[in-house]
Amino acid sequence: MWCRRLARLLEAPCRLGGSWRHRLPHGRRTVLASAARWHHTAPESLKCAWQLHGDHLELRYADTLMRFDFVWLRDHCRSASCYNAKTNQRSLDTASVDLGIKPKAVRADETTLFLTWPDGHVTRYGLEWLVKNSYEGQKQRVMHPRILWNAEIYRQAQVPSVDCRSFLETDEGLKEFLQNFLLYGIAFVENVTPTKEDTEILAERISLIRETIYGRMWYFTSDFSRGDTAYTKLALDRHTDTTYFQEPCG
């Protein structure tokens, strides 16, 4: 009988600290206490929540779930002793950061994450700054949609070409060209005078022209005197160009 009564006592709920809990054997209670859990800025708010893991912190803020290694969080500290705000350069010696470092305490309010390290140093991060500088936030901000296309897909898209004058003289023309190029990987400019000089002006509107062993610009025509199959009328199969360059094409 005493066994049954003891079992009922262990299973009966008891009130602790204003909340109802079940009595559990000591071993089971320890397991629950050590389980990872989300911490919130306020009981009623899910605006910011974090969870500690073995070597990193997970932070949920502004509909973004982010991961920050503890070493990264210590190394990027923006305190006056770790970072020179005038030169935007790190003062902390990265090699001095223990690779196994873990914060002693973590808390957050509505705008800031606070981390206290084993030596007592406190790091403060604005939550918006963390979103902008996290890998997850960067991907959301810079990833541009891509369309893998073939001739049929490109025809159906009806991507307009950009007029040469608009491309050279207006930001709108340049923007339209770049958007087409980023989306499809190819874009066209119409009404370009077919000379090397005008082609060079067009290319410089987009980027710098690199010096090569052939010069900055040259005519690509059939000329066997160059001793290169690419300058003949023979067909070229798939190949990789300029592998002997310090920075090959592509």
CATH code, domain with 45: 3.30.2020.30
237 vs 91, 185, 186, 232, 233, CA distance in Å? 53, 21, 21, 13, 13
Q: Checking phi first, is residue 215 left (phi over 0); if not, alpha (psi -120 to 50) or beta? A: left
CA end-to-end span of the chain: 81
pLDDT of residue 17: 35
pLDDT of residue 194: 92
pTM: 0.51
Write the pLDDT tens digit of every residue in 46-101.
478 989 999 999 999 988 899 999 999 999 999 999 999 999 999 999 999 999 99
Write the pLDDT tens digit of every residue in 96-138.
999 999 999 999 998 999 999 999 999 999 999 999 899 887 7
**Gyration radius (Cα) of the chain, Å:** 31
Secondary structure string (H, E, C) spanning 83-123 = EECCCCEECCCHHHCCCCCCCCEEEECCCEEEEECCCCCEE
pLDDT category of residue 145 using cuts at 50, 70 and 90: confident
Residues 138 and 156 in one domain: no
- At residue 71, the 3 state secondary structure works out as helix
Residues 135 and 45 in one domain: yes
Residues 43 and 70 in one domain: yes
Residues 186 and 203 in one domain: yes
Residues 173 and 106 in one domain: no
For the chain, the residue count is 250
- DSSP state, residue 41: E
Residues 46 and 120 in one domain: yes
Task: Look at residues 95, 114, 142 and tell me which one is the last residue of a structural domain.
Answer: 142
Domain of residue 193, residue span: 151-217
What's the domain count of the chain? 2
Alpha helices in the chain, H assignment, sequence order: 2-11, 26-34, 70-75, 127-133, 135-142, 151-157, 164-169, 171-184, 196-206
The closest of 54, 56, 58, 12 to 39, measured between CA atoms, is 58
Q: Taking residues 142-149, what's their average pLDDT? A: 75
Sign for the CA dihedral angle at 232, 236, 242, 247 comes to positive
- Please tell me which residue, 141 or 7, carries the higher pLDDT value: 141
Residue 103 lies in a domain: yes
Residue 244 lies in a domain: no
Task: Look at residues 109, 142, 175 and tell me which one is the last residue of a structural domain.
Answer: 142
Residue 25 lies in a domain: no
